[in-house]
Structure 1
Amino acid sequence: MFRKGEEPIGRTVGRVSRAIARGFDEALNAAGGSFSTWIVLLELKLNPGANQRALAAEIGIEPATLTHHLNGMERSGLITRRRDPANRRVHIVELTEAGEARFAELAEAAREFDARVRSGFSAAEIGSLRALLGRLCANIDAEDTP
């Protein structure tokens, strides 16, 4: 099955993924943020005025979990929520000036962390890594297809 002393590729990728996630969390925390705040701010920058349901789907979390995060962000003055005039059951989420400023701070931390992760790799190696990781995902997705 596995050669003696050879780590299964899934374990290697998982270990690297956890290390990167831990390092990124630390970088965001040092900049005064968190991963949950970053991902919401990023999605709102990519899709200004998104509704809460679409935001949860795009981020990939349960609506109740997003509501919990948004409550804290609203208390901190980073976002506002308002009812959609076209559908009163839908809440539109928007960045405030403070949210824009926090996004800029966290984006700088994200850029610095990305540079740290890429350190020592050429652009071609990063391209190859992306392609290889894409192939791993495709292999997993192929197994999920009936």
Structure 2
Amino acid sequence: MNENLIDAAPLWPNGPTSLMHLIRRAGQLTATSWSTSVSSGLSQIQYAALIVLEELEMCDQGTLGTRVGIDKATGTYVVDRMTAAGLIVTRTDPDNRRRKLITMTDEGRKALNATIPQAKGAEQLMVERLSKTEVSDLMHLLSRLSGVREGEPTD
């Protein structure tokens, strides 16, 4: 028996451990790993938004929200905070005045570049108990569960 494992997951009901409980616990682990490893000041969602903007260069707020995996209200809040922090700029789409176009600023790019190695460290901390095969399996299963298209593995 591995003494580093805890015996705290409730049975659901009086049977196997609840999948919902385990996913919640894993979510707590991501937050702890992030706060332990990342000192840039970016949240996980802000980091994801900057990654999307690095890839796309410019996109509308709806696309950013979809790619990051957040709803419209959260997207508005995140964009407002990132704009106030000088990480992104927004402008009205000249072809559709109801659409906001978003680009990353130089300050956003600096924050992203500073955060990348820290985020990789957070991820390593999160999966330190898993083998490479288990990490690959976890990525595959979580991608399927969350409806995210799987990309090529990266180091």
Instruction: Give TM-score, length-normalised by structure 1.
Output: 0.74
Q: 1:27 to 1:35 in 2, by over 3 A?
A: same
Long gaps (5+) in structure 2: 1-10, 147-155
Residue 36 (1) aligns with residue 56 (2): no
Q: Where does residue 32 of structure 2 map in the other structure?
A: 22
State yes or no: 1:81 paired with 2:71.
no
Q: How does 1:116-131 map to 2 (within 5 A)?
A: 116-131=125-140
1:46 is matched with: 55
Tell me how far apart the structure 1 counterparts of residues 48 and 13 of structure 2 sit (CA, whole Å).
39
On the 8 A contact 2:33/2:125 being kept in 1, the answer is no
Given the superposition, is the C-alpha separation of residues 2 and 68 from structure 1 closer, same or farther in structure 2, using an over 3 Å criterion?
closer
Distance (Å, rounded) in 1 between the aligned partners of 2:91 and 2:13: 58
Instruction: Provide the C-alpha distance between the structure 2 equivalents of 1:131 and 1:49, rounded to a whole number of angstroms.
Output: 29
CA displacement at 1:100 relative to structure 2: 0.5
For residues 15-64 of structure 1, give each alpha carbon's deviation from its aligned partner in whole angstroms, at most 9, with x where no partner exists: 12222233224433x22222232122122123221111221233233323
CA deviation string 1:82-126 (max 9, x = no partner): 122222222110001111011111212111111222325332232
Unaligned runs of 5+ in 1: 139-146
Of all paired residues, the percent bearing the same amino acid is 24
SS at match of 1:31: coil
Q: Which has the higher helix share?
A: 1
Give the AA of the match of 1:21: A
SS at match of 1:20: helix
- Candidates 11, 16, 21, aligned match of 1:11: 21
What TM-score do the two structures reach when normalised by structure 2? 0.70
Q: Structure 1 residue 71 and structure 2 residue 80: aligned? A: yes
Indicate if the aligned counterparts of 2:93 and 2:100 stay in contact, CA closer than 8 A.
yes
Distance 1:3 1:60, change over 3 A: closer
| Separation in structure 2 between the aligned mates of residue 64 and residue 116 of structure 1, nearest angstrom | 31
Cα RMSD, aligned residues only: 2.8
